[in-house]
A and B are shown apart, each in its own frame.
Chain A
Amino acid sequence: MLLIRCPYCEMERPELEFRYGGEAHVARPPDPMATTDEEWAEYLYFRSNPRGVHAERWRHIHGCGRFFNCIRDTVSDRITLTYKAGEARPNLDKGGA
């Protein structure tokens, strides 16, 4: 079971308090009428699914109820950091972790 730090509650809590929300930073197309079938498919269904560093959404459903983002390694399941929704994906290349 993962231990996840909620950036709003500022507490590390067990995974059971959270719900996984899929890949982070997948933006909904701003103008639905101008969006092609390919773009809808990409938004709805296609995911990067990386073997390694993954930015993903979690929701603290049994806590504050808020969505936030998380950087996790999908091979080791180790969480590098969590950050609030709306913040840009941190650039980990600069040793930001």
Chain B
Amino acid sequence: MKFSALSVFLQGLKGNRDWPAQWRMPEPKASYDAIIVGAGGHGLATAYYMAKEHGMRNIAVLERGWLGGGNTGRNTTIVRSNYLWEESEGIYEHAMKLWEGLSHELNYNVMYSPRGVMMLAHNIHDVQVFKRHVHANRLAGIDNEWLTAKQAKEFCPLLNIERNIRHPVIGASLQRRGGTARHDAVAWGYARGADRLGVDIIQNCEVTGIRRDASGAVSGVETAKGFIATKRVGIVAAGNTSVIMAMAGVRMPLESYPLQALVSEPVKPMMSCVVMSNTVHAYMSQSDKGELVIGAGTDAYTSYSQTGGLHIATHTLDAICELFPAVRRLRMLRNWGGIVDVTPDRSPIIGKTPVPGLFVNCGWGTGGFKATPGSGHVFADLVARGEPNAIAAPFTIDRFRTGRLIDEAAAAAVAH
């Protein structure tokens, strides 16, 4: 059923009892033309664009848990594209352009809100780095501007720009097109869109092995629901990528870390933008429910625990309280962790693997949500055609051998 003002009105008259299920719950077929492993935003977007733009209808998305239950449902929903390197600008700006039309594209309100993402500078190094970002972005046609501390305060009145705090704000960069989107709606919208095009989304179906034929090429996957034959597999498993790739005998330049976030009790609208600080490692925005959504850092050590040390979260809250004194007496409602797969250069891997028929889209680290539409779009192209397009090409796994790294690690510091 298509969502429209009329359908919402008519369903309202009937007490909203007749909305159909938004996607099917199919059992797996014996074989598919392609299988995507991981029904998060990136995996579902991949399936959607494979069906929509490449006409592949006989495909499945396999998910160990429930769709959108991993990092898609755990991130802080920030969307921006003000990265330093041309390769990054290519993929993140591609995603940004898709965000701008995504609700119409999917006929599903993903609540993309370009409310502005402001990144705070606390020292001379920050100022130089952010100004470099601003200039690099403007050369690439991406909006990003420099604000003085006073202008930053005007943009976000909640912000404390006094000089007497441990890390005073001395300026900021602002991307006005950046903002937030509703994370669950992105997964649900892509799931609904893919399902309508015939894609089977199979939940509670853990992949336990990758079968290869005599030539070494992929011939199918072993799952909790039995063997499924296919010649093409796309792995979009975020923190679990190393584990799944090991099933095909492929080692990855990845490490998985817990990344934490937390939300406060809901309050009336008090913050109309996103504010990030890499230096004190805190970022905050307000959700439509009124909760302040706060992003904390990663733990020091690799882990699959989907939790994290309390000292990481409290460290971030110290910074939040200093930057936004008005929130000091707010209570935190809940905190949680997601497992992020981090590459050595903090840029993703989108590419072919040494195993014919096996493709991987991973390494989005602490900042994958913003890339969801672009990532799915270029990865769909890769799995469908077998070769990466111009946007995806620099993100090959081979860059770790050749040395052509895309070093956003040095460029963006920690927070994404």
Contact = CB atoms under 8 A, between A and B. Distances in A.
Contact of A16 (B240, B304, B311): B311
Among B301, B304, B310, B311, residue most surrounded by chain A Cβ atoms (within 10 Å): B301
A56 B256 contact: no
Interface residues of B, number: 24
A87 interface: no
Contacts of A44: 344, 400
A19 B243 CA distance: 25
Interface in A12-44: 15-16, 19-20, 22, 37-38, 40-42, 44
A21 to B, nearest CB: 9
A76 interface: yes
Given A19-B300, A74-B302, A74-B305, A51 B310 contact: no
Interface string B400-414: 111100000000000
Contacts of A56: 301-302
A1 interface: yes
Among B254, B401, B403, residue most surrounded by chain A Cβ atoms (within 10 Å): B401
Contacts of B242: 47-51
A16 B300 CA distance: 10
Nearest to B403: A37
Given A1-B310, A20-B300, A51-B240, A77 B305 contact: yes
Contacts of B309: 1-2, 15
B255 A49 contact: yes
A47 B301 contact: no
Contact of A37 (B243, B304, B402): B402
A60 interface: no
Contacts of A15: 300, 309, 311
A13 to B, nearest CB: 14
B253 A46 contact: yes
Given A1-B311, A38-B401, A41-B401, A49 B301 contact: no
Contacts of B311: 1, 15-16
B113 interface: no
Contacts of B223: none
B301 A48 contact: no
Contacts of A22: 255
A49 B344 CA distance: 13
Interface in B267-314: 300-305, 309-311
A51 B305 CA distance: 9
B142 interface: no
A74 B251 CA distance: 18
A50 B251 contact: no
B303 A45 contact: no
Contacts of B111: none
A72 interface: yes
A42 to B, nearest CB: 7
B300 A46 contact: no
B400 A41 contact: yes
Nearest to A52: B304
Contact of B251 (A37, A46, A76, A77): A46
A48 to B, nearest CB: 7
A34 B192 CA distance: 54
Given A37-B402, A50-B243, A45 B302 contact: no
Interface in B86-130: none
A29 to B, nearest CB: 14
Interface of A: 1-2, 15-16, 19-20, 22, 37-38, 40-42, 44-51, 54, 56, 72, 74-77
Given A37-B403, A47-B252, A54-B302, 14 more contacts: A1-B309, A16-B311, A19-B300, A20-B301, A37-B402, A41-B400, A44-B344, A45-B253, A49-B254, A50-B243, A51-B304, A74-B256, A74-B302, A77-B303
18 contacts: A2-B301, A15-B311, A42-B251, A46-B253, A47-B242, A47-B252, A47-B254, A48-B242, A48-B246, A48-B251, A49-B302, A51-B304, A56-B301, A74-B305, A75-B303, A75-B305, A76-B305, A77-B303
